[in-house]
Amino acid sequence: MTARTMFDKVWTAHEVVPETPETPAVLYVDLHLTHEVTSPQAFAALRERGLPVRRPDRTLATMDHSTPTSSEQVFGKLPIRVDAAAKQVQLLERNAAEFGVELFGMRDSRRGIVHVISPELGATQPGMTIVCGDSHTSTHGAFGALAFGIGSTEVGHVFATQCLLQRKPKTFAVNVEGQLAAGVTAKDLILAIIGKIGVSGGTGHVLEYRGAAIRALSMEERMTICNMSIEAGARAGMIAPDETTFAYLKGRPRAPQGAAWDAALAHWRTLPSDPDARFDASVDIDATTLEPMITYGTNPGMVVAVNGAIPVRAHDPVNQKALDYMGFHGGEPMLGKPINVVFIGSCTNGRLEDLEAAARILTGRKVANGVHLLIVPGSQQVKREAEAAGLADIFKAAGADWRESGCSMCLGMNGDTVAAGQYAVSTSNRNFEGRQGVGARTLLASPYTAAASAVAGRIADPREMLRPLAASAGGAS
């Protein structure tokens, strides 16, 4: 039998009707995640046609994109300040009730960013097809799922049919060998990958991250990697499930239990790409050579080592436009540039390990005068765990602003924004013009680099500030 890639195995198992030169494939969807921003139009389309949600048992809704992060607004002491957000929240409550969709509402202890809560619950599993009306659905590929973002119209199609029309992507092996050095994280690795292959390098492909450096990553780190696949233009990113994956999933509320777990495990072990499987494209990365990375421009591919300099690109109008927006010049070093805001959170870096990383820098230190450090956990569960582990106390003692969960300053829909002209070091995934607020200037980096920069008040190299985290504050090494 022909050797197959993991992508091919998952795709074929979900193909209801194969594609032809004239028509896309009909692909079955195992899990449909939804939220308050891209669902209203889709529910309205169902209502117009008198259709039900075909598989409410395979649909899960949460509130994250536009929800407030202030406790008073979340728990009802104050009204939601942003009118559009208040309307979206109410609409999703009404739609979920009318169509029988399970919803983690504003005060639900399981609420959080859609790509954080589904893995946390064990709802994300190897071999699944998973879709959501959000580009960073690729996060779930960390479990060996085929997961990708869809538009509002497609959200309606999946509600109505539990299927999706799709052209089959090509495959792209990203081989990462060697070990990451201390202070160099999964975020730095994915930024380096995007820097190498470019923001269009993965277009039309599903990336499979492979090699010793990938196998050594925790599930949280693998999610950070897969999350940003879309920023390389890829349809999705995947990592082969292994013992790390199974240990993460075992015992989670929505993971299979008992005999069903054993059966699932037997299936999941068949998913990794066959040894001789052929990929349509590939790139090799040496993890040992990587440094902490930071972006300097207006897409995630405009990235350099934090101790490096902005490249000089004469006669490149796109690069020049980005530098003009950022107020930077080619040849300038990144270290020491003053900053105004630091955001630690998002579905890229809002999990417990990310907060532990920030705490390793912030323990016993203060945020620099004039810098606003906003730390937003990826879910209410992450918030509870961070508080129980003493991380929130470290953050508050440092002078950080500790909030309820949500997307927050990743896209600024809830009013958590960066002012025009200000510089924000952000652990999120997009540094497009205006992403964090009109005129805001975003520098993407790891939680280490973000926290170190908050302390310095300038872009800083985190390796000079790393400390072990005390056992009472999470026990991370």
> Which parts of this chain interact with ligand SF4 (CB under 6 A)?
64-65, 113-115, 134, 136, 346-347, 407, 410-411, 428-429
If the CB atoms of residues 64 and 188 are measured against ligand SF4, the closer one turns out to be 64
The alpha carbon dihedral of 161, 165, 170, 172 has a sign of: negative
If the CB atoms of residues 187 and 365 are measured against ligand SF4, the closer one turns out to be 187
The minimum distance between CB 430 and ligand SF4, in angstroms, equals: 7
If the CB atoms of residues 65 and 187 are measured against ligand SF4, the closer one turns out to be 65
The minimum distance between CB 410 and ligand SF4, in angstroms, equals: 3
The minimum distance between CB 408 and ligand SF4, in angstroms, equals: 8
The minimum distance between CB 346 and ligand SF4, in angstroms, equals: 4
How far is the C-alpha of 328 from the C-alpha of 307, rounded, in Å?
16
Please, is 15 exposed, middle or buried when counting C-beta atoms within 10 Å of its C-beta (0-12, 13-18, 19+)?
A: middle
How far is the C-alpha of 107 from the C-alpha of 110, rounded, in Å?
9
The minimum distance between CB 255 and ligand SF4, in angstroms, equals: 22
If the CB atoms of residues 25 and 375 are measured against ligand SF4, the closer one turns out to be 375
The minimum distance between CB 161 and ligand SF4, in angstroms, equals: 24
The minimum distance between CB 381 and ligand SF4, in angstroms, equals: 16
The minimum distance between CB 156 and ligand SF4, in angstroms, equals: 19
If the CB atoms of residues 95 and 349 are measured against ligand SF4, the closer one turns out to be 349
The minimum distance between CB 231 and ligand SF4, in angstroms, equals: 10
Q: With contact defined as beta carbons under 8 Å apart, do 422 and 441 qualify?
A: yes
The minimum distance between CB 191 and ligand SF4, in angstroms, equals: 15
If the CB atoms of residues 9 and 383 are measured against ligand SF4, the closer one turns out to be 383
The minimum distance between CB 264 and ligand SF4, in angstroms, equals: 27
If the CB atoms of residues 65 and 222 are measured against ligand SF4, the closer one turns out to be 65
If the CB atoms of residues 411 and 460 are measured against ligand SF4, the closer one turns out to be 411
Contacts of 265 (CB under 8 A, 6+ apart): 246
If the CB atoms of residues 322 and 347 are measured against ligand SF4, the closer one turns out to be 347
If the CB atoms of residues 9 and 65 are measured against ligand SF4, the closer one turns out to be 65
